[in-house]
Amino acid sequence: MLEEILDGNIQTVDFVKDWEESIKIASKPLLEKNIIEKKYVEAMIESIKKLGFYVVLRENLAMPHARPEEGAIDTGISLLKLKQPVNYGDEKVYIVIVLASKDSDSHTEILMKLVELFQDDESIEELIKAETVEEIRRIVGKY
Residues serving a catalytic function are 65
Distance CA 22, CA 71 (A): 19
Angle 26-29-34 from CA coordinates, rounded to 5°: 125
Q: Do residues 79 and 26 touch, judged by C-beta distance below 8 A?
A: yes
Q: Do residues 73 and 35 touch, judged by C-beta distance below 8 A?
A: yes
Q: Which of 66, 73, 62 is nearest to 21 (CA)?
A: 62
Q: Do residues 137 and 6 touch, judged by C-beta distance below 8 A?
A: yes
